[in-house]
Amino acid sequence: MQNCTRCNGTGKNSYNGKACYACNGTGQFSEPDYKQILKSLLITRKSKQTFRASAPKGRDTVEEKRSYYVWRLTRFHGGADVTMPVMAESYISGDPFAKDLDKFAGMIAQRVYGTQMAAAYRWGSIFGAVKNIPGGLPGSAYPGGYVADKNKPLEELAELI
């Protein structure tokens, strides 16, 4: 267990004293169940597992929010959707395991998309930090390439405006 980074483990919002929305008033987060998160991101058909194209359902529980976050960050790192994952970040606000979940998403992206650097190259080139983008990456890694595939969640479409 680790303290919620939003309420610093108190379970209450500092501005109104009500239960912290990030941790649901518990003040703490348990370590992620990475096997369960991965299971929620895979679809099995005819004995073959594939990374799910659409977002996992639900955003109510910590586990559902973490699954969505890892799904969205996997797509971000892998190049399926290189728009900033603002909604995904908001869903895990206060989660002290956010950096670990991000690393986990990077590992999945490497396996699923063959890279975990598409968004880094895209955004790095926009801000001048990257001068040469290697070949063989998804089109989203390059300036002028697509930014999201057809599986972008409805709740995130405003990011395209």
Q: pLDDT at residue 116 above 90?
A: yes
pLDDT at 23: 92
pTM above 0.95, yes or no: no
Mean pLDDT score across all residues of the chain: 92
Confidence at 50, pLDDT banded by 50, 70, 90: very high
- Residue 69: name the closest of 95, 50, 42 by CA: 95
Residues 6+ apart with CB under 8 A from 136: none
Confidence at 63, pLDDT banded by 50, 70, 90: very high
Q: pLDDT at residue 159 above 90?
A: no
Q: pLDDT at residue 31 above 90?
A: yes
Confidence at 151, pLDDT banded by 50, 70, 90: confident
